Structure 1
Amino acid sequence: MLSVQPVSEAGFAAMAEEWRMCLEASDANPLFMSWPWLYSWWETWSQVLGMELVLLGVFDQRGELVGIGPFCRRVLVTPGGVRVARLYMIGNAWRLAPTVRTEYCAIIARRGSEQAVTAALVPALEQLKWDEMISTDVPVDQLESLKVGRFYDQRGYRMIHRTEDVGIRINTTGRFDDWLAGLGKNTRLKAYNRRSYLKKQGELDFLDHEEGRDGDFFGRLNAFHMNRWGKPAFDREALRFHRLLLQRLHLCEGEPAMSLILYNEHCVSVLYDVVVRGCRYNLQAGYEEDFDPKVSLGYLHLGHAIEAAFSDGATSAYDLLAGNGKNQFYKSHFHGEAVHFSTFQVVRSPLLKALYRIQAASPLFMARGLSRRVGL
């Protein structure tokens, strides 16, 4: 038999090792569902967003942690005066405020105990006070554990699918040359062959970032983004989050993989990756936009990072994650496996169910007007 117990904020702060052991024994994502990522998110945004912790630990008869329900709650009043108690997964604030994006969201459960952990969490969640529950960026292989609406069919709960997104994950256990040969001609040119062109024109160096030698990495990253997008990659809260994450990354057996491209001793590109348990994740990048019309620095830097992942015998995948580029879904060009994510909500408030039903049945212009007035 399993028991579900709420975890306090003090308990959350002190459970890094217990969380690590539970996560390692599960199939949940080792970075995004890790204690360093989720606790750093909570420490950064919980007070800013007015969140209440609803962290549920699932324990076996010996008192060992076998599952984690990483939730939080926010009560808000929409512009139309509708009071909504919304349950979120820690790591995202859907339609509330921009934060860093937490992908691969899931309930954490030890292998072999997935159904038992979910079965224990469902009645615990049902006893909580909430009108709707938001699940964001859930990978398709974890959907069943989070589609709690299927347990509530007899109660008339409503499930609304909001968005679908795609990421790309590259298997790096083979030979880099084979992967490179499988790329399209134009992608291979941009990701690798342009090295020769640049080396003929000047001095090209790919370097791991060193704080003492290279200065503030995030300062460079933000400067590149200001020039390209008109805003920094990371605002004040996001900078705090990433600095906290890097300090704690070793607690999930991770390490940073931040790199630079120097051309004629001038930094023209930065890449922010982290490596956790055999997977290298591409979190952010920035580069000099008007560098050379024949060279795509973003592709070139990714090509080098992917080659490094192939060369590292301990790394089995390079994850480009979800999200589109400025003009196209460039990640699909990198010959990787598509990872599908879903964002959906489970609604149990009769008023909200009625409003969403009206919204879904209305013409587009009326549905948009309802969304603006009511704030759905």
Structure 2
Amino acid sequence: MRVERFSEARFASMAEDWNTCLAESDANPLFMSWPWLFSWWQTWSQLLGMELVLLAVFDENDGLVGIGPFSRRVLVTSAGIRVTRMYMLGNAWRLAPTVRTEYCGIIARRGYEDSVGAILLSALAQLGWDELIFTDVPPKQLEHFRRAGLDEHVGYRIIQRTVDEGVCVDTTGRFTDWLNALGKNTRLKAYNRRTYLDKHGELNFSVHDTDRDGDFFKLLNAFHHRRWGKAAFEREALRFHRLLLQRLHLCGGKPVLSVVRFNGCCVSVLYDIVVGGCRFNLQAGYDESFNAKVSLGYLHLGFAIEEAFSDKTTRNYDLLAGTGKKQFYKSHFHGEVVNFSTFQVVRGPFLKLLYAIQSASPPLMARTFNRRVGL
């Protein structure tokens, strides 16, 4: 097996090869797809001054069996410390806000996971960096990294930063069984309130129609402005999603943009993508002042999840990571909890010393240290 570092031009032209390798792996079919990662790279790489570190693994027959998507950037902290930081492609941890890329990891054809992981870690070890940031890594990918020997590299310091939770609903059974397993209050909000609304007007769940409803992202952003005081997708994020939707067919995906209308007025929008047998819920927006007795967010998700159950090619409805405005509402939807780990791998001797001081300090002193050092 051999590793080759690909250029940006090669990255731009490898959609078909990437998709073939991804389809024969257990990596996430959306977030690790070429349309998602290349669109992210096109949107943010120049703005953030990122250097592409795209590693491709080939077998003895020159077949592509693995992909390691990374990027690199040199930064100088507020204390003047020069740090070369490696990132997983699709994230810019503590650098700038971008869209969130979840289920991060490497792509390896089934049966090649351990060998691809080991050869990629070996290739990364030969590159120049002080820190390697692994972001939103799911349990299966975390296990691949451990089996490949990440924990055993002499001289590395591994620092756990966050563990976030997401929820994924299995939609292979019957919708009524899932519905009956919900708590009483969740079932009321996600389904039973339909009856209440039907008595007071015309409730309709349908696919978004640009001619009827206008631009979907403008609707989404308008709802978010009223609820959160800011857009769901600012300029760069909006550009990213428009690029993504143009290319989604290249990984076999399709957008599902839906609206809930009441008495002919759009009161809620939902942005989903279906790919690889999974429906991913990326964003939602709704009229928070609609009705005190109705939670439009729950109601719209109830419609979407029911639709996923009715589609026999869809195995899961993934609510992804993130909390609501007031609570972790996703935990109410009777799905499997998925943990996403974000951690640093540090090998620069001076940085390891600084992080050791930081971890040994009391919380107040550690915060002061962080502000002064700029890490």
2:186 is aligned to 187
Kept in 1: contact 2:168–2:338 (CA 8 A): yes
Equivalences for residues 145-164 of structure 1 within 5 A: 145-147=144-146, 150-151=149-150, 153=152, 155-164=154-163
Per-residue CA deviation, residues 249-293 of structure 1 (Å, 9 max, x unaligned), is 001100000100111111100000000011000000000011100
Shift of 1:155: 2.7
Per-residue CA deviation, residues 289-340 of structure 1 (Å, 9 max, x unaligned), is 1110000000000000000000111111100001100000000000001111
Equivalences for residues 347-362 of structure 1 within 5 A: 347-362=346-361
1:81 is aligned to 80
The residue identity in structure 2 corresponding to 1:74 is: R
**TM norm structure 1:** 0.98
The residue identity in structure 1 corresponding to 2:349 is: P
SS in 2 for 1:117: helix
2:341 is aligned to 342
Sequence identity, in percent? Answer: 69
Kept in 2: contact 1:148–1:346 (CA 8 A): no
Per-residue CA deviation, residues 26-67 of structure 1 (Å, 9 max, x unaligned), is 000000000000000000000011000000000112211100
C-alpha distance 149-85 of structure 1, shift in aligned 2 (>3 A): farther
Specify every segment of 5 or more residues in structure 1 that has no aligned partner in the other structure, as ranges.
none
Kept in 2: contact 1:149–1:159 (CA 8 A): no
Runs of 4+ in 1 over 6 A off after TM superposition: none
Kept in 2: contact 1:53–1:72 (CA 8 A): yes
Shift of 1:213: 2.5
Distance in 1 between residues matched to 2:148 and 2:64, nearest whole Å = 25
1:28 is aligned to 27
1:49 is aligned to 48
- Which deviates the most, 114-123 or 182-191? 114-123
2:230 is aligned to 231
Note if 1:317 corresponds to 2:296: no
The residue identity in structure 2 corresponding to 1:85 is: T
Shift of 1:148: 9.0
Distance in 2 between residues matched to 1:239 and 1:122, nearest whole Å = 34
Distance in 2 between residues matched to 1:319 and 1:204, nearest whole Å = 25
Equivalences for residues 85-164 of structure 1 within 5 A: 85-147=84-146, 150-151=149-150, 153=152, 155-164=154-163
Equivalences for residues 283-294 of structure 1 within 5 A: 283-294=282-293
Per-residue CA deviation, residues 111-143 of structure 1 (Å, 9 max, x unaligned), is 000111112112210110000000000001111
Distance in 2 between residues matched to 1:67 and 1:154, nearest whole Å = 21
**TM norm structure 2:** 0.98
Shift of 1:144: 3.1
SS in 2 for 1:79: coil
Note if 1:167 corresponds to 2:166: yes
Equivalences for residues 230-309 of structure 1 within 5 A: 230-309=229-308
SS in 1 for 2:290: coil
Kept in 2: contact 1:163–1:343 (CA 8 A): yes
Kept in 1: contact 2:114–2:148 (CA 8 A): no
Kept in 2: contact 1:149–1:158 (CA 8 A): no
SS in 2 for 1:155: coil
The residue identity in structure 2 corresponding to 1:186 is: N
1:19 is aligned to 18
C-alpha distance 276-355 of structure 1, shift in aligned 2 (>3 A): same
Superposition CA RMSD, Å? 1.1
Give the total of aligned pairs.
375
Shift of 1:154: 5.7
Per-residue CA deviation, residues 120-179 of structure 1 (Å, 9 max, x unaligned), is 112210110000000000001111333599447463210000000111000001110111
Distance in 2 between residues matched to 1:106 and 1:151, nearest whole Å = 13
1:204 is aligned to 203
C-alpha distance 149-313 of structure 1, shift in aligned 2 (>3 A): closer
Kept in 2: contact 1:135–1:146 (CA 8 A): no
Distance in 1 between residues matched to 2:334 and 2:38, nearest whole Å = 34
1:59 is aligned to 58
SS in 1 for 2:173: coil
Distance in 2 between residues matched to 1:108 and 1:149, nearest whole Å = 13
Kept in 2: contact 1:149–1:157 (CA 8 A): no
- Which deviates the most, 6-15 or 210-219? 210-219
2:363 is aligned to 364
